[in-house]
Amino acid sequence: MKDYDAIVIGAGHNGLTNAAFLAKAGLDVLVLEKNDYIGGATVSRELHEGWQYSNCSYVCSFFRPEIYQALDLGRHGLEVVPLQGGATFMQNGDHYGNYHQPAVRRREIMRHSKRDADAAIRFDADLMKWCRLIRGFLLRTPPDPASFKWRDAMEFASLLKAFYQLTESQIYEFIRFFTMSIAEYLEEYFESEVIKAHFSGGSIIGTGLGVYSPGTAYVLLHHAMGDVDGNVGSWGFARGGMGSVSKAIASSFKSLGGDVRSGAEVSEIKVKGNKATGIILASGEEINAKVVVSNLDAKRTFLNIMNKKDLPEEIIHRAENFKIRGSSGKVNIALDGMPDFPALEKGSPLTLGHMHFSDSLERLERAYDDWKDDRWSTDPYVDMVIPSQYDPTLAPAGKHMVSVFVQYCPVEAEGGWTEEKRQAFGDTVINQISQYSPNFKDLILHAEVRTPKEIEAEVGLTEGNIFQGELTLDQLMFNRPFPGYAQYRGPVKGMYMCGSSNHPGGGVMGAPGANAAREILRDLKRTDTTPEDFGDD
């Protein structure tokens, strides 16, 4: 096997993005993937004949348009179609419809509360303020506030400058926003229970926190700051499923001369004299490289594929205590036809978006209570989408593919998962949906039920945490993954991290991959191929 300039471990979207920018700078790059297929958590898999399952990540919003453009992903086959609609179904038979037409949406909020319809204007504007502040830092390396280096000082100054562009009262509000629970935050705007429940969902997705836990307001921002073609807060479906994202990046990477090897699990990063020299595969094969980049989460990187003797004690300690709790499950379903939702009018556009069945903050908090006791939620929060309504490539004509994200699902169901428990978890979810769609069960042709266990085993995310680590203030910006290690450089020379464990965190965004590439190219004194933020103003 030849030597490479760089090896990237893990062919998830961040690994591939990182590799593509390195290849674009002229490096000879190899991406290694343990599975027989690439994509990590951005995959489309034919688990039932004729159906493509986006069986992990399922919607696309964050993916940085700068990266999309720089890697020419459109010509490499990526197409993200904005999704519309969405609804929260209520136990009393009513619903809140999140219509895409602003005038209709406003009337629908008014139907639940006239005041909330006006408060929504304040809510949207406020959220946009925080989004604007954060978005400018997605494609930037976080400064080290304890460093006296010129670059860190300048970056920190630009962070402060952005912050002080807010008005005095906005600064206070922003600090509150970062530390509040989503329930408390929404209560400052809305009075209708179903409206609060609908808007709080994005705050708990993927997070081992409840709607009343401090810090969850920020997670909402993390889900709201994405955009599709400049429409901030909107979500999209990748045509062909989420696998299209990783396929397009891989195609771009290969066109730049990169190599991808699947079915090649890395067992160790080789270190010689405080410098990474390559990797050892599970097969025993060794490949040398000047640079080794890990797309694995921080825990897996430092505790699984690095030798403890090569690491400072601090890193081992930090990695062991890294918060990466598994709290989400996934049920992916092939349907024989479009299910009925009797609460909706005939031909309603609401099924085109995210559907939820939790109509109060209290029910959401109870769902969290179950998880704390190592049980899956008996009344879970689900985020259900039916992308085959848009995308003809996902299921045969007239049939549908349903993706159901489930919050909460524990890593260890009281005494450990068994096949029966996994099925019972799936049934809980399907039963909840069936309460609002009586023919749903009859239409099921195949269902894949994934607990954090399966997600961890197949994708490699520790505890199945979709963000590669909780998005709480203690693990954000210059603290992500660990204080002093937020600039994508590992503790040994030539070793880097490019996964979502790093700034700016999880979501199919590509930013950690691109940011890591910038730092690697900088160290190698190569031309920076990573894109700058488009900027908002």
Partner 1 sequence: MEKHDFKQVLQHTPFHVRVEELSLMKSWSPWNGYQVARVFDTLAAEYFAVRSSCTVFDVTPMEKYRIKGPDALDFLNRLVTRDVSKLKPGRVTYVAWCNDEGRVLDDGTIFHLGDDGYRLCAQHHQLDWLMISSLGFDVSIEEETHDVAALSVQGPTSYSVLCAAGISGLEELKPFGILNTKIDDVDVMVSRTGFTGDLGYEVWVDPRHGITLWDAIFSVKERGLYDIKPIGLDALEMVRIEAGFIMPGDDFITAETAVRADHDRSPFELGLEWAVSFDKPYYTGRRALELEKSQPAKRRLVKLSVEGNKEPTDSFLYDAKNGQRIGAIKTNIWSPILKSNLAMADIDYKNGEAPTEIWAEIYYQKELEWKSTWARCEISDKPFWSNKRRSQTPPNRV
Query: Is 370:345 a contact under the CB 8 Å cutoff?
Result: no
Q: Does 537 bind partner 1 (CB under 8 A)?
A: yes
**Cα distances (Å, whole numbers) of residue 126 to 45, 184, 227:** 39, 15, 17
Q: Is the dihedral of CA 405, 407, 410, 413 positive or negative?
A: negative
Residue 499: both structure tokens together = 């996964």
Give every CB contact of residue 463 below 8 A, 6+ residues apart in sequence: 324, 325, 326, 411, 452, 456
Residue (184 or 370) nearer to partner 1, CB? 184
Burial 269-291 (b: 16+ CB within 10 A, else e): bbbeeeebbbbebeeeeebebbb
Cα–Cα distance between 80 and 240 in angstroms, integer?
10
Q: How far apart are CA 532 and CA 409, in angstroms?
A: 38
Stretch that binds partner 1, among 127-135, 263-271, 361-369, 457-465 (CB under 8 A): 127-135
> Which residue, 339 or 349, is less far from partner 1 as judged by CB?
349
345 binds partner 1 (CB under 8 A): yes
Encode burial over 6-17: b for 16+ CB neighbours within 10 A, e otherwise. Answer: bbbbbbbbbbbb
Q: Which residues contact 410 (CB under 8 A, 6 or more apart)?
A: 326, 327, 371, 374, 375, 376, 451, 452
Draw the binding track, 71-100, toward partner 1 (x: CB under 8 A; -: no contact). --------------------------x-x-
103-111, 391-399, 453-461, 496-504 -> range binding partner 1 (CB under 8 A)? 103-111
Q: Does 176 bind partner 1 (CB under 8 A)?
A: no
- Give the Cβ contact number of residue 392 at 10 Å: 10
- Examine residue 397 and tell whether it contacts partner 1 (CB under 8 A): no
Q: Which is nearer to partner 1, 23 or 119 (CB)?
A: 119
Q: Is 117 a binder of partner 1 (CB under 8 A)?
A: yes
**How many residues form the binding site for partner 1 (CB under 8 A)?**
32
Residues in region 179-218 near partner 1 by CB under 8 A: none
Report in angstroms how near the CB of residue 338 gets to partner 1 at its nearest. Answer: 18
Q: Please pick, from the candidates 3, 69, 74, 122, the single residue that binds partner 1 as defined by CB under 8 A.
A: 122
Any idea what the Cα angle at residue 216 is, between residues 215 and 218, rounded to 5°?
A: 80
CB nearer partner 1, residue 113 or residue 255 = 113
Q: Which of 119, 204, 245, 319 binds partner 1 (CB under 8 A)?
A: 119
Binding residues among 140-169 for partner 1 as defined by CB under 8 A: 165-167, 169
Minimal distance in Å, beta carbon 202 to partner 1?
A: 19
3-state class (DSSP) for residue 211: coil
Query: Is 346 one of the binding residues for partner 1 (CB under 8 A)?
Result: no
Q: Which of 91, 129, 147, 528 binds partner 1 (CB under 8 A)?
A: 129
CA distance linking residue 171 with residue 166, whole number of Å: 6
| Positions in the binding site for partner 1 (CB under 8 A) | 97, 99, 101, 103-104, 106-108, 110-111, 114-119, 121-122, 125, 128-129, 132, 165-167, 169-170, 345, 347-349, 537
